[in-house]
Amino acid sequence: MRPNAPISLVIARYSTCERAVQDFTTVWRRRYDGDFHHTSVAVLARDSDGELRVERHNSTAKHLLWGGALLGGALCVLAPATGVGVLAELGPTGAGVIIDHVRHTADPGELAGTADLLDGSTWALVVVVVNRNGAAVAPLLAGADRRSSVDMPWGDLEEELCQDVA
């Protein structure tokens, strides 16, 4: 992977489950368009206790040892309890590397704004894409009430993931 390839974290807020699921489906269908590497996507819902939980998810990286960390690690930065739950289900390998990468390469203001958007959501869609920027994903989220994205460079993430797995 090129070090300057983008990795993007996109969050969208929805008023209904149906709109979130529709955009989930749209993103998933478009995962192979263009020069992509990996796409992880999840619909989140706020439960009666006020906690976010994953309603559904999918990832092109699920066959990789660190595949669960792509979504779970990103969520750990934005919504820690939800992220830990995802990692418990999908596997924690590589999560520390992803968390560290997001925390050190993302713009702190954009990251805070994205976390605030997620925090105020009843229904949300989380998309983590490798080799696409947030502007390329935003048009796929037609049903969203609001959206926010954070773009970062891939950098040496692949090397760090390989070291973590080893």
139 domain residue, yes or no: yes
**Residue found under tokens 């502007």:** 135
- Single-letter amino acid code for the residue at 160: E
- Convert 17-52 to b/e letters by CB count within 10 Å (16 or more is b): eebbbbbbebbbebbeeeeebbbbbbbbbeeeeeeb
Inside any domain, residue 156? yes
Measured CA to CA, the distance from residue 51 to residue 148 in angstroms comes to: 20
Structural domain including 160 reads: 6-165
Contact partners, residue 10, CB within 8 Å, separation at least 6 = 125, 126, 127, 128, 129, 134, 137, 138, 141, 147, 148, 149, 150
Quick one: tokens of 158? 């692949």
Q: Strands of 17-120 (E only): list them.
A: 38-46, 52-59
88 domain residue, yes or no = yes
pTM over 0.85: yes
Q: Which helix (H) or strand (E) holds 19?
A: helix 17-29
**Residue 156 and residue 84 in contact, taking contact as beta carbons nearer than 8 Å:** no
Select from 76, 74, 88, 78 the least CA-distant residue to 130. 74
Q: How many domains does the chain have?
A: 1
Is residue 24 domain-resident?
A: yes
1 located within any domain? no
> 45 in a domain, yes or no?
yes
- Kindly give the confidence (pLDDT) of every residue in the chain, 166 residues in length, as a single tens digit, with 9 standing for 90 and above: 788 889 999 999 999 999 999 999 999 999 888 776 799 999 999 999 999 999 999 999 988 888 899 999 999 999 999 999 999 988 888 899 999 999 999 999 999 999 999 988 999 999 999 999 999 999 999 999 999 999 999 888 878 887 877 6
